[in-house]
Amino acid sequence: MKPGPREVHPIRVKETKTIKTRVEILVMVAALGALVSACPQSGGMAEVSAEEKAAVRENLRRLEIRYEILQKDDPPQVETLPLRQKIAEVESALEAGDVERASALAEEAGDWLDKAGEKYYRRHESRVVAGTSGESGEDLVNSAELFMQKAREAGNSGDRWASDQYFQAAIEQGELALFTKQKRPDQAADLVVLSKRLQAIYQAAGKPEQAKASNERVAQRLMKSVAELDKSIKDCIAGKAEGCERDSLATSEERFTRKAAELNELNSLLVEISGEAQSLAPGRIHSVDHSASLSSWSAGWNAYFNNQWVLPTPPKVGPKSDREAELKAMIEKHNRLKQGAQPIRGSGIAIEVKEIYTLGDSVIIRGKISNYSTEPVFKPRVTVTGGVAGEVVDLGYEKFSPQVTTGFQIKLTTLNTEAFVKSMNSLPFYEILVIYQDLDGNEKKVLKSIP
């Protein structure tokens, strides 16, 4: 997108008094002659080489490309006005032959873009995650593929810099597209389609490692959906889930019929998602199908309602040691903290795990947390959830301002050094949960999954 039209300001000429005498005229002519002799032949401006002019024109071209790419994040035009004015001033200075000024202005415009690019991308990301951007996953991935086409055209013409810029824009749009299909398990098939299109962009950009990391994030999302669906079906068959209790189902055949249909639908979705996850992460997950268990479960209830009146016996659970049961109960209780938590992407909060180490008999996760949002958060705390539990750590900030980063250390409460060493110094799937208050005093929770 071209910058807006340049503003042209009339030159104001100060009124001077009339020169009345011949002597005054001769004095003025002599002074002017001396001034001209002291100046270079270019008319008073220092000469610059063709290479210097070309370098500034190249910088101007790059600024225009970066401004074009910035539009994908829909920045408010009133906020980009200073940038557009600066670009127009660069053009004006070049036309006037003032290359030194044009170069300085171009550098200022570049600095503005460096600072603003991340800010507007994060705002865009927040809107996509919240579902308020007005863009579908298809819209975003289509935009990504248009940027990829521009990247290829630039590369074919030998412009490696522009090609890299357009490829990065394509990747950012593609990653945002994935966020639109991660809220519900029934979006898994669409998520895989978008992911495959993004993988093609990564490969075209020559970024196999980033492609692998993106693929892993999608696989983790699918595996999480598989685990959630698998648990839902198993708990219902066992009579543990709400609405699946034997006493509840026994009161109404219609209620059982609705629940059976619901479980069969969930199982079909589970088979589909686990198959997709298997294709993305072969060997790490297997196709899951509870059709046989559901058939047996339904047969027992059908027999009950066909005047046999013997309640089906729930499946037996194998015995576990008291300690295992205790740890499981601790983890389940601790995981209640994450109820109502939203994915961390789009919140402006960033979490990075730096290391996991042991101290005596304790296992500790060390990391850092940053606030990249435009607003402060208050009284932030962090903990570990998922397959392990950890202490809730107060970060010590009454007000955690934007652009602030601090470290944290969380001691695990359900894993000791001995168990950690036996597991080859690895942890099961876990998450970092951040709990804080917003400007209105409302409690907010965001969750980052750690593979």
Q: pLDDT digit string (tens) for 128-182?
A: 988 899 999 999 999 999 999 999 999 999 999 999 999 999 999 999 999 998 8
pLDDT at 21: 42
Rounded to two decimals, the pTM is 0.56
pLDDT at 230: 85
CA distance 397 to 349: 15
**pLDDT of 5 strictly over 70:** no
Token couple for 94: 């070049």
Mean pLDDT score of the chain: 83
CA distance 295 to 260: 9
CA distance 421 to 425: 5
Question: pLDDT tier at 418 (50, 70, 90 boundaries)?
Answer: confident
* CATH 2.60.40.1230 residue ranges for the chain: 325-450
221 close to 274: Cβ distance less than 8 angstroms: no
Token couple for 141: 């991935």
**pLDDT of 26 strictly over 70:** no
Residue carrying the six token digits 């959906």: 225
pLDDT at 300: 85
pLDDT at 283: 60
pLDDT in tens, 31-72: 444 444 444 444 444 566 788 889 999 999 999 999 999 999
**pLDDT of 12 strictly over 70:** no
CA distance 69 to 165: 8
402 close to 371: Cβ distance less than 8 angstroms: yes
pLDDT at 285: 63
Q: Does the domain at residues 137-206 carry the CATH identifier 1.20.58?
A: yes
438 close to 444: Cβ distance less than 8 angstroms: yes
pLDDT at 276: 78
CA distance 176 to 139: 10
pLDDT greater at residue 269 or residue 311: 269
CA distance 4 to 117: 19
* CATH 1.20.58 residue ranges for the chain: 137-206
> What proportion of the chain, given as a percentage, has pLDDT over 90?
50
* Dihedral of alpha carbons 318, 320, 325, 331, sign: negative
pLDDT at 292: 85
pLDDT in tens, 200-251: 999 999 999 888 888 888 887 888 888 888 888 988 988 888 889 888 888 8
**pLDDT of 29 strictly over 70:** no
Token couple for 105: 């202005």
CA distance 142 to 149: 11
pLDDT at 275: 80
The type of residue at 421 is V
CA distance 68 to 140: 16
- CATH H-level, domain 325-450: superfamily: Gamma-adaptin ear (GAE) domain (2.60.40.1230)
Query: How would you classify residue 122: left for phi > 0, otherwise alpha for psi between -120 and 50, otherwise beta?
Result: alpha
**pLDDT of 388 strictly over 50:** yes
Question: pLDDT tier at 122 (50, 70, 90 boundaries)?
Answer: very high
Question: pLDDT tier at 311 (50, 70, 90 boundaries)?
Answer: low
213 close to 379: Cβ distance less than 8 angstroms: no
pLDDT at 25: 38
The side-by-side arrangement of strands in the sheet containing 362-371 is 349-359, 362-371, 404-416
Half-sphere exposure of 164 (CA within 13 A, CB side): 4
Of the ranges 206-220, 283-297, 364-378, which one carries the lowest mean pLDDT score? 283-297
145 close to 170: Cβ distance less than 8 angstroms: yes
pLDDT at 76: 93
Name the maximum alpha-carbon separation found in the chain. Answer: 130
pLDDT at 177: 94
pLDDT at 309: 59
Residue carrying the six token digits 């059908």: 302
pLDDT at 271: 87
pLDDT at 229: 87
CA distance 201 to 211: 9
CA distance 386 to 410: 14
Half-sphere exposure of 428 (CA within 13 A, CB side): 12
pLDDT at 384: 96
> What proportion of the chain, given as a percentage, has pLDDT over 70?
84
pLDDT at 192: 87
pLDDT at 334: 92
